[in-house]
Chains A and B, each alone.
Chain A
Amino acid sequence: MGDIQFEIDGQTVTADSGMTVLEAAQKEGIYIPTLCHHEKLEPFGGCRLCIVEVEDRGWTKYVVSCVFPAAKDIIVRTRSEKVDRLRKTIIELLMAHAPDAPDLMKLAKEYNADPNRYERDASFCIHCGLCVRYCAEVAGKNALGFVDRGINKEISFVPEIAAQVCNDCKECFPLCPTSYLQAAFVYTQALSFPDAVKTGQSAGK
């Protein structure tokens, strides 16, 4: 196997057809920062942090490696002056939403990003979609989804489903990079099925 050969950071790597650049890099142990990637889930391209420089037949472009398919003879650079600058801006933008997320604070230090560069609009959610996608693709419960769009987009539980299944699952909780998911759940629970809090059990019918 491994029918596609290309280069990441000067190292020759092989990938199967259909693999993304990020997957090929992770297979070889090359680190690319990510927030919305999860090996069990379909590629999403939500956080844009895994942006890399790709040189293809002499042309250089900037692509998000988690959705960019590996191709023959491309040259990938995971760190360059411009990649670092782009990532720094992305981190700064994400931090306008979630200023206290530990993952982001770590990245901000590494990329020298200023958490206060953009005016804060602390929604605490960075729309990585991990919880929504995990619930739909792995847990298969569809207890929460996105609602609205653009700047008003947010995650939202369906109270009827959440009351039945969430207390026994909560598998999405550790995935959230900002802890907003947990807050959204507690909020839904308090509004829609508060009895489960008192007894510590799911409010099944």
Chain B
Amino acid sequence: MKRILACLILLLLLASIGIVFAEEPKVVEGATLPTGGQTQAPANIYSPQSGREGVAPTALPVEGATRAPVIDSGDTAWVLISTALVLLMTPGLAFFYGGMVGRKNVLGVLMQCFTILCIVSIQWVLYGYSLSFAPGSGFWGGFSWSGLANVGFAPYKDYAATIPHQLFMAYQMMFAVITPALIIGAFAGRMKFSAFVIFTILWATFVYDPVCHWVWGVGGWLKDLGALDFAGGTVVHINAGIAALMTAIFIGKRNGTTNKVILPHNLPFTILGTALLWFGWFGFNAGSALGANELAVNAFVVTNTAAAAAGLTWALIDWIFNDKPTMLGTATGAVAGLVAITPAAGFVSALSAIIIGVLVSVFCYMAVTLIKPKFGYDDALDVFGVHCIGGIWGALATGLFASKAINPAGADGLFFGNPKQLLVQAAAVGVTVVYSFVASYIIYKLIDVVMKVRVTKKDETIGLDLTQHHENAYTIME
């Protein structure tokens, strides 16, 4: 009976596919009308993260092109808040992951997230932002903006015409922070802290910064190719997810995983983390509009819709295949939905978001329960299964569901008459997967040769909290 009910709800969700194509043009035509007349700031619909070459000049109204860019207080306020929201996602992720590991490793996970927050924040100011966003070569930005040289308060038109340049830098900093933090779920419980610190610095420098430049930077070659990535599906999720798979394969399985499952030690932590991630994701996606405008609202709505559809779908899949809907499953689904909608948030409608959300849970569930056991890699907290698979689906879904009716500065996807966009999306995914895997592998091996990445068996048995940090998360007795 319950299964029939679950199947029915799933079918109802999928029925929205039909509605999308029946209703979409009407819905969005109305929605785009105001952008012409009522806009208050120049470059209202333009988002640098849309990654479209030639967008900036066309999106800027004639009046904007002739005078210096003006700071808009509404846009600035929204991006300031979004920056803080995205910052909160890293501690949120720490709790999301921390709840899923054993009691002896929870501080290790929290510590790694906070350490990344500290390290990358400094790296970004010193040279990370310059490598990623300075107008350098197609490969990376060079060092012309090191130490925030030339990054002042006047807006930088090619990225965001209505907010201070330094705010754009700070907003991007939070993305650079959370991306390496996503990876740690794969090697949870078995990497030396010292090796982890070096891995983070090298990975941020040689993997994140170049890929970020390709997709979002001025002159980045994937951007010039026309790849759409609204808020970081390729740069953040696929990039981190594939590096996670690499580390999971090469660091080896956790001890004791052969005959038993390592149980999550505190699921309420994981749910708290999910809630913080969902909340922060409004900054991540809606903030990527880089203004308080229609595009931000669209991203906000589709973000929530996709997360809801995906959380519900995962619960239903659990109900159908594992007898009961589970809290961890629902939370995992919601995160998968947020991942999948990230590249699409500025280009698709809410109904498309439901389809993206429903299907991401199906794909990620398959990756976690079928693919992972089949290949036997120990991706401890399913970073690859959720972030990489979800990110790839999101990037491809952008090529399917993107519509110029939602964002004139974007492009139409396959279902709106532009099959080429899907190929461009697939190319961007392929390039990121290959580059990130190979570059991460080289970094990993270099560190392994110098200092051994994995902790000793004895330390692993006692746990990272006590051996790497000399602390205990919980006391048994006073």
Do chains A and B interact in one complex? Answer: no
| A residues adjacent to B (C-beta < 8 A) | none
| B residues adjacent to A (C-beta < 8 A) | none
